[in-house]
Structure 1
Amino acid sequence: MLTTERKALIMDRIRRDGRLVAKAFAEELSLSEDTVRRDLREMASEGLLSRVHGGALPIQPDLPDFTARRAVASDEKRRLGAKAASMIQPGQIVFLDGGTTNAEIARALPKTIAFTIVTHSPTIATELEHHPTAEVVLIGGRLYKHSMVAVGAVAAAAISAIRPDIFFLGATAIHPRHGFSTGDFEEAAIKRQIAAQSSATWVLATKEKLDAASPVTIMPLEAATGVIASTQVEAEQRQMLESAGLEQLLV
């Protein structure tokens, strides 16, 4: 097999699965593992993929910090946030994850009913400073500055006592095989804990998150209740969500 053919197959596999395991790929194609690893090194040097122990992942673009991301409030995020906010019922306990999309939920929360918002994001709590009917519970812990959320043992201990009615989970990517994912191990662990304790877990999915994978899996798609997404998502992406048994609210 020619080098160009091998590399094309490698890229196809990474796009399909969100990763490539060198040993398994070599066995599948009856190649030496050294050959595959050499191809991966060359492709990484060309900026085509990201080398990791045992294989490769898609290139993850450098993520801007939270302040920069917050300045970009697209119409899509506003629509998703408004739909999520409309789901909240009087008296419910709602856990709002961090992130710029979930900030749009905070801005759209109803002001005519009483409910409790729990969050481990100081920026989300700040959005609710002047909200007339929302009781706000802020979870503390070590601040993960990229996403502006509390993580670690202190946050986990506080979260363990809460049973939210709805959790609006923030994820950086949604993939049929790798589920909901993000970029940090501790952040993923906290998200997973909150979801396990919540009666329902919903994810707001902007178009660029669908069919993508980040380095750390939060949980499989089947573990969530549903996804709120744009009507502009492709039919194949809708099928991916449907196959996982997820409810879909399109706005």
Structure 2
Amino acid sequence: MSPQPPVVPEAPAPVLLPDERRRLILEQLGLRGRVLAQDLCRMLQVSEDTIRRDLKDLDEAGLLKRVHGGALPITQGSVGRAFGTPQPAKQAVARVAAGLIRSGQVVFLDGGTTLLEVTRALPADLRATIITPSPTVAVALADYSGLEVHLVGGRLHPGALTLVGADTVEALRRVRADLCLLGVCSLHAETGISTAYAEEATTKRAMIDSATETVAVLTADKLGTVSPFVVAPASRLTTLVTEASSSEALLAPFHKLQLRILTA
């Protein structure tokens, strides 16, 4: 019998530098839409304490949102101020959202650049009552003779460019709207609807609570992301309007929530 070759022990996995580990964590987050600490421990062969420190450092750098047991993507960018800049993706999404408004309805129309595009896509002969916390949206609706436009009171938030505060929330709660077209900074199937500003979150929550149907109007880059202040669970939505280019991986969690999904 010929002698067996000697068993050569496997070389230990190379030790990664902290920057290398964090780059791999961000790569996994981009591929999967979320990362779990226990999975990262196995993949990178490091302790849970090490992964927790990495996630903490990445969170503080604004590169992800650390949550219990792992991390989620963080929304890219902040509320845009370039209201006059044409944005084809937002325009396409806005046209679909505008088509959901029916004659005679009472509608909450939120603020933000995508909702401003909705005002530009409305039929010229539409007859409806529009209630908005956005001065910019209210002004854009002034030329529609068939619309009754109500701008709720409150204090202008310098970041969100919408009205906020107790007066705003009270005015919204006194209405029973047929439809709410909601501007969304971030939407994640587990974390829900979230935004960058605490007071804006309260305003959006009041609109959702006072509407029969709520439609999230957003571009694909906001799907699967989170912002600091949670507005409501994603299940509070009835419809999601987004880009046709949104991947099935991004949309699948929302299909599981049985939301109606419309793409443009």
Q: What TM-score do the two structures reach when normalised by structure 2?
A: 0.78
1:39 is aligned to: 54
Contact 2:33–2:224 at 8 Å: present in 1 too? no
Deviations along 1:181-235, whole A, 9 cap, x unmatched? 1111111111011101100000112111112111222111111001112222111
Contact 2:239–2:259 at 8 Å: present in 1 too? yes
The structure with the larger Rg is: 2
Pick the aligned partner of 1:242 from 208, 232, 255.
255
Instruction: State whether structure 2 residue 88 is matched by structure 1 residue 67.
Output: no
Pick the aligned partner of 2:225 from 209, 212, 230.
212
Between the two proteins, the alignment pairs up a number of residues equal to 244
Q: In the aligned structure 2, how far is the partner of 1:246 from the partner of 1:197? A: 19
* Residue identity matched to 1:233: S
Q: In the aligned structure 2, how far is the partner of 1:185 from the partner of 1:77? A: 24
Q: In the aligned structure 2, how far is the partner of 1:9 from the partner of 1:82? A: 39
* Residue identity matched to 2:85: V
Structure 1 residue 31, shift from structure 2 partner: 3.7
Instruction: State whether structure 2 residue 131 is matched by structure 1 residue 118.
Output: yes
Q: In the aligned structure 2, how far is the partner of 1:60 from the partner of 1:208? A: 8
1:150 is aligned to: 163
* Residue identity matched to 2:63: L
Pick the aligned partner of 2:115 from 102, 107, 113.
102
Unaligned runs of 5+ in 2: 1-12
Q: In the aligned structure 2, how far is the partner of 1:248 from the partner of 1:87? A: 13
Structure 1 residue 75, shift from structure 2 partner: 1.6
Q: In the aligned structure 1, how far is the partner of 2:225 from the partner of 2:24? A: 18
Q: In the aligned structure 2, how far is the partner of 1:80 from the partner of 1:239? A: 19
Contact 2:179–2:214 at 8 Å: present in 1 too? yes
* Residue identity matched to 2:149: V
Structure 1 residue 103, shift from structure 2 partner: 0.5
* Residue identity matched to 1:83: V
Q: In the aligned structure 1, how far is the partner of 2:238 from the partner of 2:29? A: 27
Pair 1:88–1:49, CA change in 2 (3 A):
closer
Contact 1:19–1:58 at 8 Å: present in 2 too? no
Contact 2:103–2:126 at 8 Å: present in 1 too? yes
2:150 is aligned to: 137
Contact 1:189–1:218 at 8 Å: present in 2 too? yes
Pick the aligned partner of 2:209 from 176, 191, 196.
196
SS in 2 for 1:165: strand
Deviations along 1:8-63, whole A, 9 cap, x unmatched? 6754676557688x8xx99xx99464x44543465568x57368799977565553
2:5 is aligned to: none
Instruction: State whether structure 2 residue 240 is matched by structure 1 residue 227.
Output: yes
Q: In the aligned structure 1, how far is the partner of 2:58 from the partner of 2:250? A: 28
Identity, % of aligned pairs?
33
1:173 is aligned to: 186
* Residue identity matched to 1:198: A
2:200 is aligned to: 187
* Residue identity matched to 1:123: T
Q: What TM-score do the two structures reach when normalised by structure 1?
A: 0.82
Contact 1:49–1:57 at 8 Å: present in 2 too? no
Q: In the aligned structure 2, how far is the partner of 1:151 from the partner of 1:78? A: 26
User: After the TM superposition, which residues 80-91 of structure 1 pair with which residues of structure 2 at under 5 Å, given as runs?
Assistant: 80-91=93-104
Unaligned runs of 5+ in 1: none
